[in-house]
Amino acid sequence: MRLTDAQTTAAAAVEDRMPELSQWCATIFDYGETAWREYRSAAWYVERLRAEGFSVEQGSGGMPTAFCAEWSNGDGPVIGMYAEYDAVPGNCQAADTHRGPRPGLGYQAGGHTDPHSALGISTLGGVLATKAAMERHGLAGGLRYTGEPAEKVRGSKPIHAAKGYYDGLAAMLSFHPFYMLPMCNTVRWDTHCGAAYSMIYRFICDAPEAWGVPDGAPIPQSHCAVRAPGATDALMTMFQSSRVLREAMLPHQGGWSISEAILSAGQATADNLPAGLAEIQYMMRVPDVAMAEQVTGLLDRNAEAAAGLTGCRVERHWVCKSRPGLANHAMADVVWRAMQQAGPPVWGSAARQTARQIQVDLGMEPMDAPFIDEMTRLIAPQEAEAILRSDLPPSQLNSTSDDYTDMTWHAPTARFYVARPALRPAEGLSYPPWVMNAMGGIPALIDPMIRTAATTLALSALRLLEDPGARAAAMDEFTARTGGGVGGSGWMAPLCDYDPPIHFGWPEYVSTERGRDWSIPGAMPGA
């Protein structure tokens, strides 16, 4: 499969910019900013893109840490790509071979796990290489590059989709670092990710003196008379009752889950007063929207019951409602061809030595071949699909969760994975989570993935720009699967009917006289 002249230019552009891409990845890794609070990371992307000649809308979709960048080389098809850059609380890790937080921070601060730091820089490398080839070879068309905050809570893409940011694209390219087999160095085929809902229940105890009193008569001595248990008890009742019902709410196969996180609790002003506010967030990953609605109904009933028992009222605030994914074989074929042209990542002697040092620091015997074999192999999409389907019931159409799925309903989309570094398991031993986090920030280990992913993106985008037949096949399939395209009889409309949930007390970094520190705010404004 010979590269076109434009593709050759793009591949060379990725290689030429690898020193910059490596440095940029280290920058975003060190920022380690978490959902809805990626201020420095988003500002960095905006500044970089403007310097590269893109026009950039900051705060796209009403999200302060989102953006939409566009560049045009004349009338023609527009190809979409995107960056993610959010980290995860409680995963602060330095880019080092031993356990340790980034300088000046504790372990509970944010850190990159998947890692989105490398995801975003890989796609930035891909879009810049595509632009360079379009300019040099006079290819008409455009590029749209969105900044997607809060992916770990499925935050921005449902909002961007509902507000039209993916409309009008000829194609969308979605990349993610590999983190589970068989989705390693391959492209998704039929079984795309499923639906995901997330919400926050806020329990508010406005009138504890009226709880359990006929006609709301006041209690003369609140120290010794009956009073409402309050918001903390409401939260704990919700937490326990929903855990009890979890087995009934979800199927017993397919990898679906409900997880919860307590955002704020207590808020009492004295030892004899009930807590006035408590918040708990739920995230569900389910096969389809119908199941998400069923689970939501059960959680709503649990919340109302918990509020009634404890003298509280309850509010439900949406964090996300994302749709399941829509396949496109024509797009998968385009990206699979590009992956074969780019080849799998290659980890050289420096990477192997660094991996061995991690093993030594863990007290292990270093391995001659420290990486798992799958990292350097390509797997055909149909083969990966067969492996994935072997563990799923025939009725289950989707597997796992990621909000790129909202893009699939607005443009022909391919989702592909490139291997990130992963160490070969040792008998009787397991690697602690910090190891994967650290390897996502060590240049010798993460740069091979960045190079391969950026090249694959650029080769795919240029194939779509240069080959009208490939582009038409992808759009024809999208039109057929949606029953007429966007708004067609088989199309699923955006589920987002809520404002960006930016006002909650999400963890963030703050600047104090002590320097930059990690903080967990108490509540959203107006609480």
How far is the C-alpha of 149 from the C-alpha of 175, rounded, in Å? 15
Q: Are 27 and 97 members of one domain?
A: yes
What integer pLDDT is reported at residue 454 of this predicted model? Answer: 98
pLDDT at 257: 85
Work out the average pLDDT over 357-382.
Answer: 95
How high is the pLDDT of residue 46? 98
Count of structural domains, the chain: 2
For the full predicted model, state whether its pTM sits above 0.75. Answer: yes
The pLDDT score that the predictor gives to residue 180 is 79
pLDDT at position 427 is 84
Identify whether residues 289 and 204 lie together within a single domain: yes
237 shares a domain with 104: no
Is residue 350 within 8 Å of 444, Cβ to Cβ?
Answer: yes
Which pLDDT value is given to residue 123? Answer: 98
Q: Same domain for 254 and 200?
A: yes
Q: Which domain holds residue 24?
A: 5-192+324-481
Domain boundary among 294, 323, 352: 323
Contacts of 307 (CB under 8 A, 6+ apart): 203, 234, 313, 314
pLDDT at 439: 97
Reduced to 3 states, what is the DSSP secondary structure of residue 69?
Answer: strand
Q: What are phi and psi for residue 230, nearest 5 degrees?
A: 100, -175
Q: Does residue 17 surpass a pLDDT of 60?
A: yes
What are the tens digits of pLDDT across the range 272-294? 677 888 999 999 999 899 999 99
The residues that bridge with 187 in the sheet, in sequence order, are 416
Percentage of residues of the chain with pLDDT beyond 70: 94
pLDDT at 36 over 80: yes
For 420, list phi and psi in degrees, rounded to 5. -95, 165
**HSE value, Cβ hemisphere, 13 Å, CA-based, for 148:** 35
The domain that contains 210 carries what CATH number? 3.30.70.360
Domain check: are 141 and 241 in the same one?
A: no
3-state helix, strand and coil shares in percent for the chain, rounded to the nearest 5: 40, 20, 40
Averaged pLDDT score across all residues of the chain: 92
DSSP 8-state symbol, 151: G
pLDDT of 524: 55
Q: Tell whether 181 and 200 lie within a shared domain.
A: no
Between 189 and 401, the more confident residue is 189
| DSSP calls for 394-436 | TT----SB-GGGGGGGTS-EEEEEEPPP-BPP-TT----HHHH
Q: How many CB atoms lie within 10 A of CB 17?
A: 18
CB atoms within 10 A of CB 458: 30
Considering the domain architecture, whether residues 384 and 460 belong to the same structural domain is answered as yes
Taking the C-alpha atoms of residue 180 and residue 183, their distance in angstroms, rounded to an integer, is 6
Provide the token pair at 4. 């076109």
**Would you say residue 214 lies in a domain?**
yes
User: What confidence category does residue 430 fall into, taking pLDDT thresholds of 50, 70 and 90?
Assistant: confident
Q: Are residues 185 and 60 in the same domain?
A: yes
In a domain, 495, yes or no: no
CATH number of the domain encompassing residue 36: 3.40.630.10
- Asked if 334 and 384 sit in the same domain, the reply is yes
Task: Please name the residue ranges forming H helices in 52-176.
Answer: 116-137, 156-162
pLDDT one-digit tens code per residue, 306-342: 999 999 999 999 999 999 999 999 999 999 999 999 9
Task: Output the CA torsion sign for 31, 35, 36, 42.
Answer: positive
Q: Could you tell me the pLDDT band of residue 219, with boundaries at 50, 70 and 90?
A: low
Q: pLDDT (tens digit, 9 = 90+) per residue, 452-493?
A: 999 999 999 999 999 999 999 999 999 999 999 999 999 999
- Does the pLDDT of residue 223 top 90, yes or no? no
pLDDT tens for residues 41-86? Answer: 999 999 999 999 999 999 999 999 999 999 999 999 999 999 999 9
The model's pLDDT over 251-276, given as tens digits with 9 standing for 90+, comes to 766 778 888 888 865 555 566 677 88
Task: Look at residue 487 and tell me if it is in a domain.
Answer: no
Q: Do 316 and 409 sit in the same domain of this protein?
A: no
Answer yes or no: do 226 and 331 share one domain.
Answer: no
pLDDT (0 to 100) of residue 523: 55
CA pair distance 263, 337, nearest whole angstrom: 45
CA distance 370 to 426: 10
Query: 298, 323, 348: which is the final residue of a domain?
Result: 323
With 70 as the cut, is the pLDDT of residue 442 above it? Answer: yes
Whether residues 168 and 41 fall in one domain: yes
Q: Determine the angle formed by the axes of helices 39-51 and 116-137, rounding to 10 degrees.
A: 10
